[in-house]
Amino acid sequence: MIDGGRPLEGQVAVSGSKNAALPILIATLLAPGEHRLANVPDLADTSSTLSLLGRIGCPSLTGTHVRVDTTRVAYWEAPYDVVRKMRASVLVLGPLLARCGKAVVSLPGGCAIGTRPIDQHLKGLEALGCRFRIEGGNVHGVADDLRGADVHLDMPTVTGTENILMAAVLARGTTRIHNAAREPEIVDLANFLKGLGAQIEGAGSSTLVIEGVPRLTPASRPHRIIPDRIEAGTWLCAAAVTGGDVTVTDVEPGHLEAIGAKLAEAGCEIEAAGTTVRVRRTGPLRPFQLRTLPYPGFPTDMQAQLMTVATLANGTSTLEETIFENRLLHAAELRRMGARIEERGGMAIVHGGTLSAAAVMASDLRASAALVLAGLAAPGLTEVLRIYHLDRGYEDLVGKARKLGARIGRVSDGERDHDRMLAATAAAA
Protein backbone atom coordinates (compact mmCIF):
# COMPACT_ATOMS: atom_id res chain seq x y z
CA MET A 1 0.00 0.00 0.00
CA ILE A 2 1.46 3.39 -0.96
CA ASP A 3 0.31 6.90 -0.10
CA GLY A 4 2.02 8.58 -3.05
CA GLY A 5 2.65 12.02 -4.49
CA ARG A 6 5.64 13.12 -2.43
CA PRO A 7 9.28 13.47 -3.61
CA LEU A 8 11.74 10.78 -2.51
CA GLU A 9 14.98 12.19 -1.18
CA GLY A 10 18.15 10.83 0.36
CA GLN A 11 20.61 7.96 0.05
CA VAL A 12 19.88 4.29 -0.41
CA ALA A 13 22.40 1.42 -0.26
CA VAL A 14 22.00 -1.06 -3.09
CA SER A 15 22.21 -4.80 -2.32
CA GLY A 16 24.20 -7.46 -4.15
CA SER A 17 23.06 -8.47 -7.63
CA LYS A 18 20.39 -11.21 -7.79
CA ASN A 19 21.48 -12.18 -11.30
CA ALA A 20 25.12 -12.51 -10.25
CA ALA A 21 24.38 -14.28 -6.95
CA LEU A 22 22.22 -17.04 -8.47
CA PRO A 23 24.82 -18.42 -10.94
CA ILE A 24 27.66 -17.94 -8.44
CA LEU A 25 25.84 -19.83 -5.66
CA ILE A 26 25.27 -22.68 -8.12
CA ALA A 27 28.86 -22.53 -9.42
CA THR A 28 30.06 -23.61 -5.95
CA LEU A 29 29.07 -27.15 -7.08
CA LEU A 30 32.12 -27.13 -9.36
CA ALA A 31 34.63 -27.06 -6.49
CA PRO A 32 34.04 -29.53 -3.61
CA GLY A 33 34.50 -27.88 -0.20
CA GLU A 34 33.33 -24.85 1.75
CA HIS A 35 32.74 -21.58 -0.10
CA ARG A 36 32.19 -18.14 1.45
CA LEU A 37 30.39 -15.35 -0.42
CA ALA A 38 29.92 -11.71 0.59
CA ASN A 39 27.14 -9.25 -0.39
CA VAL A 40 24.67 -12.01 -1.31
CA PRO A 41 21.24 -10.31 -1.32
CA ASP A 42 18.57 -11.72 1.01
CA LEU A 43 15.86 -12.51 -1.55
CA ALA A 44 13.27 -15.19 -2.23
CA ASP A 45 15.35 -16.31 -5.22
CA THR A 46 18.60 -16.63 -3.28
CA SER A 47 16.77 -18.59 -0.55
CA SER A 48 15.27 -20.86 -3.23
CA THR A 49 18.75 -21.44 -4.67
CA LEU A 50 20.21 -22.30 -1.26
CA SER A 51 17.35 -24.71 -0.56
CA LEU A 52 17.90 -26.33 -3.98
CA LEU A 53 21.59 -26.80 -3.11
CA GLY A 54 20.49 -28.24 0.23
CA ARG A 55 18.22 -30.73 -1.53
CA ILE A 56 21.13 -32.08 -3.57
CA GLY A 57 23.32 -32.49 -0.49
CA CYS A 58 25.06 -29.11 -0.11
CA PRO A 59 24.12 -27.37 3.14
CA SER A 60 24.54 -23.62 3.61
CA LEU A 61 24.56 -20.98 6.31
CA THR A 62 23.51 -17.38 5.79
CA GLY A 63 24.89 -14.39 7.69
CA THR A 64 27.42 -11.64 6.89
CA HIS A 65 28.92 -14.19 4.54
CA VAL A 66 26.89 -16.97 2.94
CA ARG A 67 28.73 -20.27 3.41
CA VAL A 68 27.97 -23.20 1.11
CA ASP A 69 29.50 -26.66 1.65
CA THR A 70 29.64 -28.59 -1.64
CA THR A 71 31.92 -31.37 -0.37
CA ARG A 72 29.27 -33.94 -1.24
CA VAL A 73 26.68 -33.90 -4.00
CA ALA A 74 24.20 -36.62 -3.05
CA TYR A 75 21.62 -35.94 -5.75
CA TRP A 76 21.60 -34.48 -9.24
CA GLU A 77 18.04 -33.38 -9.87
CA ALA A 78 16.36 -29.98 -9.98
CA PRO A 79 12.67 -30.96 -9.74
CA TYR A 80 9.71 -29.25 -11.42
CA ASP A 81 8.42 -27.70 -8.20
CA VAL A 82 11.70 -25.78 -7.86
CA VAL A 83 12.30 -24.88 -11.52
CA ARG A 84 8.64 -23.83 -11.97
CA LYS A 85 9.13 -21.18 -9.28
CA MET A 86 12.58 -20.08 -10.32
CA ARG A 87 13.71 -20.56 -13.90
CA ALA A 88 17.33 -19.85 -13.01
CA SER A 89 17.45 -23.32 -11.40
CA VAL A 90 18.28 -24.59 -14.91
CA LEU A 91 21.76 -23.26 -14.15
CA VAL A 92 22.50 -26.48 -12.22
CA LEU A 93 22.72 -28.33 -15.54
CA GLY A 94 26.29 -27.33 -16.46
CA PRO A 95 27.79 -27.76 -12.98
CA LEU A 96 26.06 -31.10 -12.25
CA LEU A 97 27.11 -32.53 -15.62
CA ALA A 98 30.68 -31.34 -15.03
CA ARG A 99 30.79 -32.58 -11.42
CA CYS A 100 28.68 -35.78 -11.51
CA GLY A 101 28.47 -36.60 -15.22
CA LYS A 102 24.68 -36.59 -15.03
CA ALA A 103 21.77 -34.25 -14.29
CA VAL A 104 17.99 -34.28 -14.37
CA VAL A 105 16.44 -30.82 -14.63
CA SER A 106 12.81 -29.97 -15.19
CA LEU A 107 12.14 -28.04 -18.39
CA PRO A 108 11.41 -24.54 -17.08
CA GLY A 109 8.22 -24.07 -19.05
CA GLY A 110 7.10 -20.54 -19.64
CA CYS A 111 6.55 -17.60 -17.34
CA ALA A 112 4.62 -14.32 -17.50
CA ILE A 113 7.15 -12.61 -19.76
CA GLY A 114 7.68 -15.36 -22.32
CA THR A 115 8.22 -19.01 -23.24
CA ARG A 116 11.82 -18.94 -21.91
CA PRO A 117 13.24 -21.93 -23.89
CA ILE A 118 16.65 -23.44 -23.10
CA ASP A 119 17.54 -24.76 -26.56
CA GLN A 120 20.77 -22.73 -26.64
CA HIS A 121 21.83 -24.14 -23.25
CA LEU A 122 21.38 -27.70 -24.55
CA LYS A 123 23.02 -26.98 -27.92
CA GLY A 124 26.13 -25.56 -26.24
CA LEU A 125 26.40 -28.37 -23.69
CA GLU A 126 25.95 -30.96 -26.46
CA ALA A 127 28.89 -29.38 -28.29
CA LEU A 128 30.96 -30.17 -25.16
CA GLY A 129 29.90 -33.82 -25.36
CA CYS A 130 26.76 -33.88 -23.18
CA ARG A 131 23.86 -36.05 -24.32
CA PHE A 132 20.25 -35.18 -23.50
CA ARG A 133 16.84 -36.77 -23.72
CA ILE A 134 13.55 -35.12 -22.80
CA GLU A 135 11.22 -37.34 -20.78
CA GLY A 136 8.29 -36.54 -18.52
CA GLY A 137 8.92 -32.79 -18.73
CA ASN A 138 12.50 -33.27 -17.60
CA VAL A 139 15.84 -32.94 -19.34
CA HIS A 140 17.96 -36.03 -18.59
CA GLY A 141 21.63 -35.25 -19.28
CA VAL A 142 24.78 -37.38 -19.21
CA ALA A 143 28.37 -36.34 -19.78
CA ASP A 144 30.95 -39.14 -19.78
CA ASP A 145 33.79 -37.08 -21.12
CA LEU A 146 33.46 -33.27 -21.40
CA ARG A 147 35.69 -31.88 -24.15
CA GLY A 148 36.32 -28.28 -25.15
CA ALA A 149 34.60 -27.10 -28.35
CA ASP A 150 33.57 -24.05 -30.34
CA VAL A 151 30.02 -22.96 -29.44
CA HIS A 152 28.10 -20.43 -31.56
CA LEU A 153 25.06 -19.02 -29.72
CA ASP A 154 22.11 -17.89 -31.86
CA MET A 155 21.50 -15.06 -29.40
CA PRO A 156 23.57 -13.77 -26.47
CA THR A 157 21.55 -15.65 -23.82
CA VAL A 158 22.68 -14.73 -20.29
CA THR A 159 21.98 -17.99 -18.44
CA GLY A 160 22.81 -19.95 -21.59
CA THR A 161 26.29 -18.41 -21.60
CA GLU A 162 26.59 -19.12 -17.86
CA ASN A 163 25.53 -22.79 -18.14
CA ILE A 164 28.00 -23.49 -20.94
CA LEU A 165 30.79 -21.55 -19.20
CA MET A 166 30.31 -23.56 -15.99
CA ALA A 167 30.66 -26.86 -17.86
CA ALA A 168 33.57 -25.68 -20.00
CA VAL A 169 35.83 -24.83 -17.03
CA LEU A 170 36.15 -28.59 -16.26
CA ALA A 171 36.08 -29.84 -19.87
CA ARG A 172 39.31 -31.20 -21.39
CA GLY A 173 40.78 -28.70 -23.86
CA THR A 174 39.74 -25.29 -25.13
CA THR A 175 36.19 -23.96 -25.41
CA ARG A 176 35.26 -20.79 -27.28
CA ILE A 177 31.78 -19.38 -26.74
CA HIS A 178 30.92 -17.06 -29.65
CA ASN A 179 28.10 -14.47 -29.38
CA ALA A 180 28.34 -14.82 -25.60
CA ALA A 181 26.35 -12.50 -23.31
CA ARG A 182 28.39 -9.54 -22.05
CA GLU A 183 26.41 -8.60 -18.92
CA PRO A 184 28.36 -7.58 -15.76
CA GLU A 185 26.87 -10.67 -14.08
CA ILE A 186 28.79 -12.86 -16.57
CA VAL A 187 32.01 -11.03 -15.64
CA ASP A 188 31.29 -11.55 -11.93
CA LEU A 189 30.67 -15.28 -12.48
CA ALA A 190 33.91 -15.55 -14.49
CA ASN A 191 35.83 -13.75 -11.73
CA PHE A 192 34.37 -16.13 -9.15
CA LEU A 193 35.35 -19.15 -11.29
CA LYS A 194 38.89 -17.78 -11.75
CA GLY A 195 39.07 -17.58 -7.94
CA LEU A 196 38.48 -21.35 -7.91
CA GLY A 197 41.32 -21.89 -10.41
CA ALA A 198 39.44 -21.70 -13.72
CA GLN A 199 41.18 -20.28 -16.80
CA ILE A 200 38.86 -17.85 -18.62
CA GLU A 201 39.63 -15.03 -21.05
CA GLY A 202 37.28 -12.50 -22.65
CA ALA A 203 34.58 -12.22 -19.95
CA GLY A 204 32.49 -9.15 -20.83
CA SER A 205 33.23 -9.53 -24.53
CA SER A 206 31.18 -11.57 -26.99
CA THR A 207 33.84 -14.31 -27.20
CA LEU A 208 34.78 -16.31 -24.12
CA VAL A 209 37.87 -18.57 -24.29
CA ILE A 210 38.11 -21.23 -21.58
CA GLU A 211 41.03 -23.61 -20.98
CA GLY A 212 39.58 -26.57 -19.06
CA VAL A 213 41.34 -27.66 -15.86
CA PRO A 214 41.15 -31.07 -14.12
CA ARG A 215 39.71 -29.72 -10.88
CA LEU A 216 38.70 -26.56 -9.03
CA THR A 217 39.03 -25.75 -5.32
CA PRO A 218 37.20 -23.23 -3.11
CA ALA A 219 38.75 -19.76 -3.06
CA SER A 220 40.82 -18.79 -0.02
CA ARG A 221 38.98 -15.45 0.39
CA PRO A 222 35.23 -14.72 0.19
CA HIS A 223 34.04 -13.53 -3.22
CA ARG A 224 32.00 -10.32 -3.05
CA ILE A 225 28.93 -10.24 -5.32
CA ILE A 226 28.71 -7.11 -7.52
CA PRO A 227 25.98 -4.54 -6.77
CA ASP A 228 22.55 -4.98 -8.35
CA ARG A 229 22.40 -2.56 -11.28
CA ILE A 230 18.66 -3.15 -11.76
CA GLU A 231 17.82 -2.36 -8.14
CA ALA A 232 20.01 0.75 -8.45
CA GLY A 233 18.25 1.79 -11.67
CA THR A 234 14.86 1.29 -10.02
CA TRP A 235 15.72 3.72 -7.20
CA LEU A 236 17.00 6.26 -9.73
CA CYS A 237 13.64 6.01 -11.50
CA ALA A 238 11.95 6.64 -8.14
CA ALA A 239 13.68 10.05 -8.04
CA ALA A 240 12.55 10.74 -11.61
CA VAL A 241 8.86 9.85 -11.10
CA THR A 242 8.46 11.61 -7.72
CA GLY A 243 10.42 14.75 -8.66
CA GLY A 244 12.94 13.90 -5.97
CA ASP A 245 16.66 13.63 -5.37
CA VAL A 246 18.04 10.14 -4.71
CA THR A 247 21.61 8.91 -4.39
CA VAL A 248 22.27 5.19 -4.71
CA THR A 249 25.41 4.02 -2.89
CA ASP A 250 27.61 0.89 -3.10
CA VAL A 251 27.08 0.76 -6.91
CA GLU A 252 29.36 0.43 -9.95
CA PRO A 253 28.47 3.54 -12.01
CA GLY A 254 29.86 1.88 -15.14
CA HIS A 255 27.02 -0.67 -14.97
CA LEU A 256 24.41 2.12 -14.94
CA GLU A 257 25.47 4.10 -18.00
CA ALA A 258 22.63 3.09 -20.34
CA ILE A 259 20.07 3.68 -17.58
CA GLY A 260 21.57 7.04 -16.59
CA ALA A 261 21.71 8.17 -20.22
CA LYS A 262 17.99 7.42 -20.67
CA LEU A 263 17.06 9.30 -17.47
CA ALA A 264 19.18 12.25 -18.66
CA GLU A 265 17.30 12.13 -21.98
CA ALA A 266 14.08 12.27 -19.93
CA GLY A 267 15.30 15.48 -18.32
CA CYS A 268 16.91 14.33 -15.06
CA GLU A 269 20.27 15.47 -13.71
CA ILE A 270 22.69 12.57 -13.25
CA GLU A 271 25.86 12.72 -11.17
CA ALA A 272 28.23 9.76 -10.76
CA ALA A 273 31.00 9.88 -8.14
CA GLY A 274 33.03 6.91 -6.85
CA THR A 275 30.54 4.20 -5.92
CA THR A 276 27.50 6.49 -5.95
CA VAL A 277 25.09 7.80 -8.58
CA ARG A 278 22.70 10.67 -7.88
CA VAL A 279 19.54 11.53 -9.84
CA ARG A 280 17.69 14.80 -9.38
CA ARG A 281 14.61 15.87 -11.26
CA THR A 282 14.74 19.63 -11.59
CA GLY A 283 12.06 20.21 -14.23
CA PRO A 284 9.30 18.43 -16.18
CA LEU A 285 10.06 15.00 -17.63
CA ARG A 286 10.68 14.90 -21.36
CA PRO A 287 9.50 12.08 -23.67
CA PHE A 288 12.11 9.60 -24.95
CA GLN A 289 12.62 6.62 -27.28
CA LEU A 290 13.84 3.35 -25.80
CA ARG A 291 14.79 -0.04 -27.27
CA THR A 292 15.87 -2.93 -25.04
CA LEU A 293 19.05 -4.72 -26.16
CA PRO A 294 21.63 -7.15 -24.78
CA TYR A 295 24.29 -5.47 -22.61
CA PRO A 296 25.71 -2.84 -23.03
CA GLY A 297 22.41 -1.77 -24.62
CA PHE A 298 19.43 -0.67 -22.54
CA PRO A 299 18.51 -3.57 -20.17
CA THR A 300 15.14 -5.29 -20.62
CA ASP A 301 14.93 -5.54 -16.80
CA MET A 302 14.56 -1.74 -16.67
CA GLN A 303 11.94 -1.37 -19.43
CA ALA A 304 8.93 -1.54 -17.12
CA GLN A 305 10.37 1.06 -14.74
CA LEU A 306 11.09 3.47 -17.62
CA MET A 307 7.54 2.98 -18.88
CA THR A 308 6.33 4.46 -15.59
CA VAL A 309 8.70 7.40 -16.15
CA ALA A 310 7.24 7.83 -19.66
CA THR A 311 3.65 7.98 -18.32
CA LEU A 312 4.62 11.24 -16.56
CA ALA A 313 6.55 12.93 -19.41
CA ASN A 314 5.34 15.93 -21.42
CA GLY A 315 4.75 14.20 -24.73
CA THR A 316 4.80 10.83 -26.46
CA SER A 317 7.51 8.22 -25.75
CA THR A 318 8.08 4.85 -27.44
CA LEU A 319 9.46 1.77 -25.68
CA GLU A 320 10.38 -1.25 -27.81
CA GLU A 321 10.93 -4.60 -26.02
CA THR A 322 13.17 -6.76 -28.24
CA ILE A 323 14.36 -9.44 -25.75
CA PHE A 324 11.14 -11.05 -24.45
CA GLU A 325 7.93 -11.60 -26.38
CA ASN A 326 5.49 -10.67 -23.63
CA ARG A 327 7.08 -8.12 -21.35
CA LEU A 328 4.56 -5.26 -21.56
CA LEU A 329 2.07 -6.65 -19.02
CA HIS A 330 2.57 -3.64 -16.74
CA ALA A 331 1.02 -1.37 -19.43
CA ALA A 332 -2.52 -2.62 -18.71
CA GLU A 333 -2.08 -1.97 -14.97
CA LEU A 334 -0.61 1.50 -15.60
CA ARG A 335 -3.70 2.26 -17.70
CA ARG A 336 -5.77 1.56 -14.59
CA MET A 337 -3.88 4.48 -13.07
CA GLY A 338 -4.79 6.77 -15.94
CA ALA A 339 -1.78 6.19 -18.20
CA ARG A 340 -2.44 6.46 -21.95
CA ILE A 341 -0.48 3.61 -23.55
CA GLU A 342 -0.96 1.95 -26.94
CA GLU A 343 0.63 -1.42 -27.65
CA ARG A 344 1.70 -2.49 -31.13
CA GLY A 345 3.49 -5.82 -31.10
CA GLY A 346 6.50 -5.42 -28.79
CA MET A 347 6.23 -1.61 -28.89
CA ALA A 348 4.51 0.60 -26.31
CA ILE A 349 3.55 4.16 -27.32
CA VAL A 350 3.08 6.20 -24.15
CA HIS A 351 1.27 9.55 -24.22
CA GLY A 352 2.56 11.16 -21.03
CA GLY A 353 0.35 12.92 -18.51
CA THR A 354 -0.48 12.21 -14.87
CA LEU A 355 -1.18 9.09 -12.82
CA SER A 356 -3.97 8.56 -10.31
CA ALA A 357 -3.95 6.12 -7.42
CA ALA A 358 -5.66 2.75 -7.89
CA ALA A 359 -5.49 -0.93 -6.92
CA VAL A 360 -3.23 -2.71 -9.45
CA MET A 361 -1.96 -6.26 -9.95
CA ALA A 362 1.71 -7.22 -10.26
CA SER A 363 2.45 -9.92 -12.89
CA ASP A 364 6.22 -10.37 -12.71
CA LEU A 365 9.22 -9.05 -10.81
CA ARG A 366 10.03 -5.93 -12.81
CA ALA A 367 6.38 -5.10 -13.58
CA SER A 368 5.77 -4.97 -9.79
CA ALA A 369 8.64 -2.49 -9.49
CA ALA A 370 7.06 -0.32 -12.20
CA LEU A 371 3.73 -0.34 -10.35
CA VAL A 372 5.37 0.58 -7.05
CA LEU A 373 7.06 3.51 -8.81
CA ALA A 374 3.67 4.56 -10.22
CA GLY A 375 2.17 4.35 -6.70
CA LEU A 376 4.97 6.53 -5.33
CA ALA A 377 4.25 9.13 -8.03
CA ALA A 378 0.44 9.18 -7.89
CA PRO A 379 -1.18 11.24 -5.13
CA GLY A 380 -3.43 9.09 -2.93
CA LEU A 381 -3.55 5.41 -1.96
CA THR A 382 -2.28 2.85 -4.47
CA GLU A 383 -2.47 -0.82 -3.60
CA VAL A 384 -0.14 -3.17 -5.49
CA LEU A 385 -1.45 -6.73 -5.27
CA ARG A 386 0.60 -9.96 -5.55
CA ILE A 387 3.55 -8.12 -4.09
CA TYR A 388 5.34 -11.47 -3.56
CA HIS A 389 6.79 -10.94 -7.05
CA LEU A 390 8.87 -8.07 -5.63
CA ASP A 391 10.38 -10.23 -2.89
CA ARG A 392 12.12 -12.28 -5.57
CA GLY A 393 14.43 -9.45 -6.59
CA TYR A 394 14.31 -6.51 -4.17
CA GLU A 395 15.77 -6.78 -0.66
CA ASP A 396 13.80 -4.78 1.94
CA LEU A 397 12.15 -2.54 -0.66
CA VAL A 398 9.63 -1.13 1.86
CA GLY A 399 12.33 -0.32 4.43
CA LYS A 400 14.56 1.33 1.86
CA ALA A 401 11.67 3.35 0.36
CA ARG A 402 10.66 4.57 3.83
CA LYS A 403 14.21 5.79 4.40
CA LEU A 404 13.72 7.97 1.31
CA GLY A 405 10.54 9.42 2.75
CA ALA A 406 7.94 7.18 1.11
CA ARG A 407 4.70 6.41 2.92
CA ILE A 408 4.51 2.72 2.12
CA GLY A 409 3.52 -0.40 4.03
CA ARG A 410 2.56 -4.01 3.55
CA VAL A 411 -1.10 -4.68 4.05
CA SER A 412 -1.80 -8.32 4.86
CA ASP A 413 -4.83 -9.96 3.25
CA GLY A 414 -6.82 -9.52 6.44
CA GLU A 415 -6.27 -5.76 6.50
CA ARG A 416 -8.26 -4.86 3.43
CA ASP A 417 -10.37 -2.08 4.84
CA HIS A 418 -9.54 1.52 4.10
CA ASP A 419 -8.68 2.66 7.64
CA ARG A 420 -6.19 -0.14 8.13
CA MET A 421 -4.60 0.73 4.83
CA LEU A 422 -4.24 4.30 6.04
CA ALA A 423 -2.73 2.97 9.27
CA ALA A 424 -0.22 0.88 7.31
CA THR A 425 0.97 3.89 5.36
CA ALA A 426 0.74 6.36 8.24
CA ALA A 427 3.02 4.03 10.23
CA ALA A 428 5.56 4.81 7.57
CA ALA A 429 5.47 8.52 8.31
Q: Residue 330 interacts with ligand EPZ (CB under 6 A)?
A: no
Q: Residue 365 interacts with ligand EPZ (CB under 6 A)?
A: yes
Report how many residues bind ligand EPZ under the rule CB under 6 A.
23
Q: Which among 157, 286, 150, 284 is positioned nearest to 210, based on CA atoms? A: 150
Q: Which among 365, 412, 388, 424 is positioned nearest to 18, based on CA atoms? A: 365
Q: Which among 188, 175, 53, 191 is positioned nearest to 125, based on CA atoms? A: 175
Pairing of strands 289-291, 268-273: unpaired
Q: Residue 55 interacts with ligand EPZ (CB under 6 A)?
A: no
Q: Which of 138, 159, 308, 363 binds ligand EPZ (CB under 6 A)?
A: 159
Are 303 and 319 a contacting pair, CB within 8 Å?
yes
Binding mask 22-51 for ligand EPZ (x = CB under 6 A): x-----------------------------
For ligand EPZ, which stretch binds (CB under 6 A), given 15-23, 352-360, 377-385, 412-420? 15-23
Q: Residue 179 interacts with ligand EPZ (CB under 6 A)?
A: no
Q: Is 111 a catalytic residue?
A: yes
Q: Which among 88, 75, 95 is positioned nearest to 28, based on CA atoms? A: 95
Q: Smallest distance, Å, CB 116 to ligand EPZ?
A: 5
Q: Residue 255 interacts with ligand EPZ (CB under 6 A)?
A: no
Q: Smallest distance, Å, CB 156 to ligand EPZ?
A: 7
Q: Smallest distance, Å, CB 323 to ligand EPZ?
A: 5
Report the length, in residues, of the chain.
Answer: 429
Are 296 and 253 a contacting pair, CB within 8 Å?
no
Q: Which among 114, 109, 86, 111 is positioned nearest to 392, based on CA atoms? A: 86
Q: Residue 389 interacts with ligand EPZ (CB under 6 A)?
A: no
DSSP helix/strand/coil, 323: coil
Are 200 and 14 a contacting pair, CB within 8 Å?
no
Using the 8-state DSSP alphabet, how is residue 147 labeled? B
Count CB neighbours of 274 within 10 A.
8
Q: Smallest distance, Å, CB 228 to ligand EPZ?
A: 9
Q: Does the N-terminal peptide bond of residue 296 adopt cis geometry, omega within 30 degrees of 0?
A: yes
**Which CB atom, from 36 or from 182, has the smaller least distance to ligand EPZ?**
182
Rg (CA), the chain: 22
Q: Residue 121 interacts with ligand EPZ (CB under 6 A)?
A: yes
111, 130, 237, 268: the catalytic one is 111
Q: Residue 363 interacts with ligand EPZ (CB under 6 A)?
A: no
Q: Residue 77 interacts with ligand EPZ (CB under 6 A)?
A: no
Q: Residue 301 interacts with ligand EPZ (CB under 6 A)?
A: yes
Q: Smallest distance, Å, CB 232 to ligand EPZ?
A: 13
Q: Residue 307 interacts with ligand EPZ (CB under 6 A)?
A: no
CA 140 to chain centre: 27
Q: Which of 117, 204, 222, 315 binds ligand EPZ (CB under 6 A)?
A: 117
Q: Residue 177 interacts with ligand EPZ (CB under 6 A)?
A: no
| Encoded amino acid at 90, one letter | V
The dihedral through the CA atoms of 287, 293, 294, 297 has a sign that is negative
Give the binding site for ligand EPZ (CB under 6 A): 18-19, 22, 88, 114, 116-121, 155, 157-160, 300-301, 323-324, 365-366, 393
